[in-house]
Structure 1
C-alpha cells in the first residue's frame, strides 16, 4: 500500500486525502493549525460559497489564469460531484443568485464537519499543529523522487507520495503563510510572482475617503489600462477609507497586474441612461429645482453623501442657482454621471485578499495528474498552483478538484 502525505488541511488537502483513501492508499493529513479548514471558516463571510452550480463547461469563463490547465481536474471531480459529496455527508446545500452554492444552514462549519466525517469514516490519519519543514527526495537513475517529509524538529517520516496543498499567501492567520512555495522552490520549481487577487483597490482621488461606507448598486464599472478598455461589469461597489471595494471591484482586481498605476476605473452612475438621456434627466431635475442652490438640485439623482463630492468634481459653485447653470456646465455634469474616474495607485495588501494569484508554474506540473514534472511522487493542489478565478465559488471548486486529482494519482 502506497503511503501518501498531504500537507495542508484546506479543501484541496482534505479532498486529496479522501481521494487517496478511496484509491487504496494510506493517507496522512498534516496541518499546522489547531483544526482543519481554518480558512474555510471565514470564506463567504462565514457562509462558505462552496462552488458554483453552472454547467461545468461554463466554469472556464470565470477562470482568470491558466484555465486550460484545469480541464482534467474539473472534469474528474466536478461541481456536481462536490455537491453530492457534501449532501451525502450531512451538509444540505442551496443555490443562490449567480448559481452560487452555500450550505442551507449558512454555516461554513457544516462544510468542514462533512469533510471531517468522511475523513474519519475512511480512516485518514489527521495530524494537527504539525509544521513540515521540507520534502525529502533522493536521486536515482530515473531522476529525483520523493522519499518523505522532514518536520521542524528534524524528524523524518517516509512516504511514497507527497501532496503540497498549503494554500496561498492571503489571510496569514489561517496558516496561508507561503511555506509551501518555499518547499516548491527548494525542490527546483519556479513560483510565478505572488500578488493579491479579489481584493480592494487603492485610489488616488482625495475625495474618495469622504464616501467611506457608501455602497452603490446597479452601477457600471469600466477598467482601462492606459487608453485600452480591459473590462466592463455592472453591479455593486463600495467606497472605503483607502479606495473602492465590493463585488465589482474585486472582479476588476483579478485582471490587474503591476504596474497598477496604469489602471483607471470609471463609474457609470446611471447605466440605464445614454448620455443624451442623462442630459434630458438633468434638465428635468433642474427645472424642478430651478430656484434652489446647485447643491440642493441633485437630491433625486444621488445618495446624499455623494452630492457634495459630485458638486466638487463638477467645478460648479455649490451656491450657484440651478437656473443659472450653463448648458456647458450641465453637459460636463452629465459626463461625470456617466464616467466618474478613479485612478488606481495599488491593490490592498495580499493578506487582505480573498485569494493569491501566482504560484507553482503550471508548465512544471502534469495537468492530468497534478504531479511535478521535476520530482516524481510530488503533487500540487489548490492555491499552490498558478491558477485563479473570479468570486462565485470557483476557487474552492478548483482547490477541491485539483486536490482530488492529486489524491487519485498513484503514479510515481
Structure 2
C-alpha cells in the first residue's frame, strides 16, 4: 500500500541507543520507519558514556546480567533472548568498528571513541532507509476512538503530524537533561493511561561534608570496600573503585551505592560512607605488618613507611587528620598514634550531605511500570500498537555496559514486534 507524505508504518520517538536499534530492527523487516528526535543530532547521551569512550556492553551471560539488574530482571528474558551481546558486537564489527575487552569484561571500541560507535549504528540503520527528523519534539500521541494513529510534533517551523499504525517510545529517562533526556516519554505514557514509577536519579556521584575528600581530588582507589551507614546502621556495601573529587566521591563503587544513600537521605537519616582502604587484611594483620615495617626501619620517617601501604596523597591527609608529624622517625611513633592511623585505613568516614541529582546521574531509576508492558513484545498492555524501549521503562542496572545492553535488547524486540503485520 502506498504511504502518503508523513505516513509511516512505525514511528520511533528518540534517537538514542534504544531508538536507533528499534528503528533498524523494524525497518529490517520491511517497515517504513521515521525517527523523531527533539535534539539537533542523534545519540547525544551515547557520546558521553564511558567518559566519551563508550562502554558498549558487558561480556557475560544472561544470568550474570540478571545479577546486575537492580529491579525487574526477569522482565528482560525475551529481550535478551532476541538480541544480546554478540548481536550488538556483530553490527559494530560489520560496520568496521573493532572492539576490545577490558578489565572486568567491559567492552569498548578499540579507538576509545564513542563517536565511532554512534557513526556505526547510524550507518547500519540507514541501510534500511530509515528517515530521521531532528529539532522535532513530540507533544502528544494521536489517539482516535481508542486507536493509536501517530504523533503530533512541533518543529521550529511549526506543528506537524506524523501518522503511523505503530509507535515506539525511546525517549530515555531524566538523567543528563542537556542531552535531551527530560522525561518527555513519561508524559506520553501517561496520556496513553500508563502508570509511572517515580523517576529517581541513580548511579551518581555523592557530595560529602567538609573539605577532606576535596584535598584528595583526582586520586583514584582500586578494590576498596565502601560501606553505607545510616543513623549508625549498616545499609549496604560494595567492593570496587572510587575516585575523590572536589565535592566528594565518584567511581563505580559509589555509583552502585548511591541509590541506597539517596533513599536514606530522603528519609532524613545521617548517612556516612566508610572506606576500608586495605579490605583484604583485617586490622590485626595490618597492625602486625605496620609494626614490622616500623621495627625494621626505625630510623626512617613515618610518612615514608605509611606510603608503602597507601597512596602518597592519602597518607598526607591521614597524617594531617591524626595530627601526627610525618617526619617523625618510626621508632618514635607511639602505639596510640599507630592505632589512630590504622583506624582511618580500615574505617575512613565521610558524611554524605547530598548529590547532584539528574544533572550528573548516569541513569534514571523508575519509569513506565513493567506490569503494564508485555515482556514478550515490549507492547503496551493498555494501548494497542504502542511500544516502549530503553530507559523510559522501569528497569535499570549497575555500571559496566549493562544499561546500554538493556537499551539495545529492548529496542530490538520492540522494533521486531512493531513491524509484525505491516502490509
- Give the alignment's TM-score, normalised by structure 1: 0.90
Please state whether the residue corresponding to 2:104 is helix, strand or coil.
helix
- Partner residue of 1:395 out of 399, 403, 413: 403
Aligned ranges 1:53-72 → 2 under 5 Å: 53-72=59-78
1:81–1:318 distance in 2 versus 1, CA, 3 Å: closer
Q: Which residue of 2 aligns with 1:77?
A: 83
Q: CA deviation at 1:398?
A: 0.4
Encode CA deviations 1:107-144: one digit per residue, 9 max, x unaligned.
222222222222222111211221111111123xxxx3
Q: Which residue of 2 aligns with 1:147?
A: 149
Q: Which residue of 1 aligns with 2:174?
A: 169
Please state whether the residue corresponding to 1:71 is helix, strand or coil.
helix
The CA distance in 2 between the partners of 1:164 and 1:262, in whole Å, is 39
The CA distance in 1 between the partners of 2:401 and 2:54, in whole Å, is 8
Greater Cα shift, 5-14 or 85-94? 85-94
Q: CA deviation at 1:225?
A: 4.3
Q: Which residue of 2 aligns with 1:158?
A: 163
Please state whether the residue corresponding to 2:188 is helix, strand or coil.
helix
Aligned residues of 1:191 and 1:359 also touching (Cα < 8 A):
yes
Q: Which residue of 2 aligns with 1:362?
A: 370
Aligned residues of 1:51 and 1:100 also touching (Cα < 8 A):
yes
The CA distance in 1 between the partners of 2:139 and 2:392, in whole Å, is 16
Q: Which runs of 5+ in 1 are unaligned?
A: none
Q: Which runs of 5+ in 2 are unaligned?
A: 2-7
- Partner residue of 1:282 out of 285, 290, 303: 290
The CA distance in 1 between the partners of 2:412 and 2:68, in whole Å, is 20
Q: Which residue of 1 aligns with 2:314?
A: 306
Alpha carbon RMSD of aligned pairs, Å?
Answer: 2.5
Greater Cα shift, 383-392 or 302-311? 302-311
Encode CA deviations 1:329-358: one digit per residue, 9 max, x unaligned.
433432221111222222223111221222
- Give the alignment's TM-score, normalised by structure 2: 0.88
Please state whether the residue corresponding to 1:86 is helix, strand or coil.
helix
Aligned residues of 2:21 and 2:125 also touching (Cα < 8 A):
no
The CA distance in 1 between the partners of 2:65 and 2:327, in whole Å, is 53
Q: Which residue of 1 aligns with 2:115?
A: 109
Q: CA deviation at 1:188?
A: 2.7
Please state whether the residue corresponding to 1:65 is helix, strand or coil.
coil
Please state whether the residue corresponding to 2:34 is helix, strand or coil.
strand
- Partner residue of 1:197 out of 194, 202, 208: 202
Aligned residues of 1:254 and 1:390 also touching (Cα < 8 A):
no
Please state whether the residue corresponding to 1:188 is helix, strand or coil.
coil
Please state whether the residue corresponding to 1:161 is helix, strand or coil.
strand
Q: Which residue of 2 aligns with 1:350?
A: 358
The CA distance in 2 between the partners of 1:392 and 1:44, in whole Å, is 9
